[in-house]
Amino acid sequence: MTDRTDWIHPGERLDDLQLDGLKILQNPAGFCFGMDAVLLSHFIRLKEGERLLDLGTGTGVIPLLLSGKTRNTHFTGLEIQKESADMARRSVLLNHQEDRITIIEGDLRKADGIFPAASFDAITCNPPYMAAGKGLVNPESQRAIARHEILCTLQDVVSAAAYLLKDGGRFFLVHRPRRLVELFCLLEAKKLEPKRLQFVHPSAEEEPNMVLV
């Protein structure tokens, strides 16, 4: 890891990922990754030599975490927000992972114009949980876009994954249990069949608040 602290822009901080010496740039005024991203990284199964795409990668936490757990695997992160994509690129460089991680600024709804069909062995996504028109929208645009379906819907995410996955490829995502039926219907429409399901409970006595698929 380089000590090029001049790569850290005003308002940003460098957080320790507690894995293989990896660190990530984040801006607390914007959107910072949460436990859902960490849990998703543990849920994902990869084979050596595979290519993985993270849709809506944000500041690149999923590719960074996975790079510390695997070898000879290449990761691509697709992110629509310019500031987040820039932080992700700088995090990749700071961690000397540029040979393994590529960050692309782009819209997942236009994925067919960015990547050829069937380009990836695995696809991951930690999408916005709140449907359009539901709940209070954060006035900070980065947080609003990360939490609400402003720039993409769950259907957009599933459609992009179906287009980009190789035959026999795997799609991993985290979402809210209340939208599980909707998710399954969207997956079925694209001939993607759920194979593993893991509910996450805040405590043994509470209902699940996340689901990994």
Domains and CATH numbers, the chain: 33-85+100-212 (3.40.50.150)
Choice among 137-151, 166-180, 182-196 with the minimum mean pLDDT: 137-151
pLDDT of residue 4: 59
∠ CA 61-194-183, rounded to 5°: 75
For residue 93, count CB atoms less than 10 angstroms from its CB and return exposed for 0-12, middle for 13-18, buried for 19 or more.
middle
Mean local confidence (pLDDT), 198-202: 97
pLDDT of residue 31: 85
Mean local confidence (pLDDT), 41-70: 97
CB-based contacts of 80, cutoff 8 Å, min separation 6: 56, 105, 106, 107, 108, 145, 151, 152
Residue 129 confidence class, pLDDT cut points 50, 70, 90: confident
**pLDDT over 90 (residue 171):** yes
Residue 156 confidence class, pLDDT cut points 50, 70, 90: very high
Choice among 28-37, 71-80, 95-104, 136-145 with the minimum mean pLDDT: 136-145
| Distance (Å, whole) CA 136 – CA 204 | 29
| Distance (Å, whole) CA 44 – CA 133 | 31
CB-based contacts of 155, cutoff 8 Å, min separation 6: 186
Q: Is residue 20 a contact partner of residue 10, using CB atoms and an 8 Å limit?
A: no
The pLDDT tens digits for 96-120 are 999 999 999 999 999 999 999 999 9
Residue 77 pairs with which residues in a beta bridge? 54, 103
**pLDDT over 90 (residue 149):** no
Q: Give helix then strand counts, H and E, for the chain.
A: 6, 9
**pLDDT over 70 (residue 2):** no
The sign of the CA dihedral 58, 59, 64, 65 is negative
pLDDT of residue 191: 97
**pLDDT over 90 (residue 6):** no
Residue 1 confidence class, pLDDT cut points 50, 70, 90: very low
Residue 162 Cα distances to 54, 99, 124, angstroms: 13, 26, 12
Bridge pairing between strands 101-105 and 120-125: unpaired
H-only helix segments in 25-81: 35-43, 61-67
Query: The pTM is what?
Result: 0.92
Tokens of 197: 């399901």
| Distance (Å, whole) CA 103 – CA 73 | 15
The pLDDT tens digits for 176-186 are 999 999 999 99
Residue 168 Cα distances to 54, 70, 122, 201, angstroms: 17, 20, 9, 30
**pLDDT over 90 (residue 50):** yes
